[in-house]
């Protein structure tokens, strides 16, 4: 109960980011309780018509009603800025400890750091570069899989409102604005920059495991592409997983990530089940990597939505991630830091790799 109420109250905040890109159709008739509430709530503060896609509307719509009404359903432990797990960390093999200090017979070099880089040569095979237990991915296990990464928004969207506001197919006979500017931190760090950074770190992690990565955009200073084009890229690539990355714009105190899937099963129940599995796997991996599920939306880091074009147009296993609240001081600090972004990317990547290995 409290969750439903919370979601309804805070839905306006979501409109600052992911929802705002697709809130144009104010009501989906066949919504369930929570999402219908969110739909109405989202439409209330800002008429998500083609004219509201600029930045001011985004921030204005977000921070009004949600904060005061937020009942703080559960104080999820603050995701401490956990240092990024060192990728070259030597796997804890059992016998390698024997050669710790004995290998310094010849005083060749005066200072001679004892063992500068033991990791590379000691991992002949199966070197899980990620240290969390959520990634039982061996070499070659996911090679050849295809992942579409969708960094939300784009750097020149704000300067091209006519393009961005144009209505496009949103699935199920609906239309939505092509795209939006996205949100930003209170001191101006843009969501598109955040998503671009996380996406590229994720891309590197996946490619290192042999995954073929397709990106929905190739730079951070372009326009679009529109939400329908982004979805089509994943469909055309027959992606084994589609990962759309966003940052939310809610109120101070609203913190944490959530993973959204389509409630409407655009490609049938089997594909919807895969999307849900992907969402749960990514959620678990993020938690294992030190991130906390949102304390203001969704349920334990998951949220089914019926109003997001990117989800409703995809016929592949698809999730849309809100990695944190860019309007919260603590979340924004994490999102602005390179270490924080790498932590997010690693968590996502661990989950994607685990999912790919299992399907």
Nearer Cβ to Zn ion (213/227): 227
Piece in contact with Zn ion (CB under 5 A), picked from 12-20, 38-46, 256-264, 288-296: 12-20
User: Which positions from 204 through 243 interact with Zn ion, judged by CB under 5 A?
Assistant: none
Nearest to 54 by CA among 216, 163, 197: 163
Q: Would you say 152 or 293 has its CB closer to Zn ion?
A: 152
Tell me the number of residues near Zn ion by CB under 5 A.
5
- The least distance separating Zn ion from the CB of residue 302, rounded to whole angstroms, comes to 18
In the bound state with Zn ion, the residue whose beta carbon lies nearer, of 17 and 42, is 17
- Site membership for Zn ion, residue 152 (CB under 5 A): yes
In angstroms, give the least distance from the CB of 100 to Zn ion. Answer: 48
Distance CA 241, CA 315 (A): 10
User: Given CA atoms 342, 348, 351, 353 in this order, what sign does their dihedral have?
Assistant: negative
Token pair for 92: 């804890």
**Binding residue for Zn ion, selected from 217, 246, 304, 341, defined by CB under 5 A:** 246
Sign of the CA dihedral with 138 first, then 143, 145, and 147 last: positive
The window from 47-55, 61-69, 174-182, 260-268 that contacts Zn ion (CB under 5 A) reads 174-182
Residue selected from 7, 8, 13, 17 as contacting Zn ion according to rule CB under 5 A: 17
Least distance to Zn ion, CB of residue 165, Å: 16
User: What DSSP string runs through 62-110?
Assistant: HTTHHHHH------PPP---PPPPPTTPPP--SSGGGGSSS---S--SS
Q: Say if residue 315 is exposed, middle or buried (CB neighbours under 10 Å; 0-12, 13-18, 19+).
A: middle
Distance, CA of 265 to chain centre: 20
Q: Which one, of 254, 207, 227, lies nearest residue 312 by Cα?
A: 227
Provide the annotated active-site residues.
322
Please choose, out of 9-17, 39-47, 171-179, 232-240, the segment that lies near Zn ion by the rule CB under 5 A. 9-17
Closest CA to 230 of 146, 309, 172: 309
**Closest CB to Zn ion among 15 and 350?**
15
With binding defined as CB under 5 A, does residue 324 bind Zn ion?
no
Contact window for Zn ion (CB under 5 A) among 118-126, 147-155, 252-260, 327-335: 147-155
155 binds Zn ion (CB under 5 A): no
Angle (deg, nearest 10), helices 338-358 and 269-288? 140
Helices (H), the chain: 2-14, 18-22, 33-43, 55-62, 65-69, 161-165, 191-207, 227-236, 269-288, 309-312, 329-336, 338-358
User: Is the CB of 182 or the CB of 253 nearer to Zn ion?
Assistant: 182
Q: What length is written for the chain?
A: 359
User: Minimum CB separation from Zn ion for residue 249, in Å?
Assistant: 8
Centroid of chain to Cα 359: 21
Residue 323 gets which letter from DSSP?
E
Interacting span for Zn ion (CB under 5 A) from 23-31, 52-60, 77-85, 177-185 = 177-185
Residues 179-208 that bind Zn ion (CB under 5 A): 182
Question: Which CB sits closer to Zn ion, 145 or 327?
Answer: 327
CB of 195 to Zn ion, least distance (A): 7
Residues that bind Zn ion (CB under 5 A): 17-18, 152, 182, 246
């Amino acid at each position: 109960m409290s969750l439903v109420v919370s979601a309804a109250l805070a839905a306006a905040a979501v409109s600052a980011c992911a929802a705002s890109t697709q809130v144009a159709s104010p009501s989906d008739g066949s919504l369930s309780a929570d999402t219908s509430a969110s739909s109405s709530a989202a439409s209330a503060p800002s008429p998500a018509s083609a004219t509201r896609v600029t930045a001011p509307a985004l921030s204005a719509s977000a921070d009004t009603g949600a904060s005061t009404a937020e009942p703080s359903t559960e104080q999820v432990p603050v995701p401490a800025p956990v240092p990024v797990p060192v990728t070259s960390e030597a796997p804890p093999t059992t016998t390698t400890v024997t050669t710790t200090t004995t290998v310094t017979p010849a005083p060749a070099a005066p200072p001679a750091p004892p063992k500068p880089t033991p990791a590379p040569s000691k991992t002949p095979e199966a070197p899980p570069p990620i240290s969390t237990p959520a990634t039982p991915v061996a070499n070659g296990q996911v090679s050849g899989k295809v992942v579409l990464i969708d960094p939300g928004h784009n750097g020149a969207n704000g300067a091209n409102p006519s393009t961005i506001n144009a209505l496009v197919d949103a699935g199920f006979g609906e239309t939505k604005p092509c795209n939006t500017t996205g949100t930003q931190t209170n001191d101006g760090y843009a969501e598109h920059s955040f998503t671009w950074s996380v996406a590229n770190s994720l891309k590197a992690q996946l490619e290192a495991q042999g995954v073929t990565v397709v990106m929905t955009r190739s730079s951070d200073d372009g326009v679009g592409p529109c939400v329908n084009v982004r979805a089509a890229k994943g469909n055309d690539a027959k992606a084994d997983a589609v990962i759309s990355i966003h940052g939310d714009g809610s109120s101070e105190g609203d913190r944490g990530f959530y993973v959204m899937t389509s409630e409407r099963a655009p490609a049938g129940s089997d594909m919807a089940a895969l999307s849900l599995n992907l969402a749960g796997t990514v959620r678990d991996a993020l938690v294992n990597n030190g991130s906390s599920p949102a304390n203001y939306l969704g349920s334990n880091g998951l949220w089914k939505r019926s109003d997001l074009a990117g989800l409703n147009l995809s016929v592949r296993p698809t999730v849309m991630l809100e990695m944190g609240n860019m309007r919260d001081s603590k979340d924004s600090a994490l999102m602005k830091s390179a270490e924080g972004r790498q932590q997010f990317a690693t968590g996502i990547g661990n989950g994607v790799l685990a999912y790919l290995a299992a399907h």
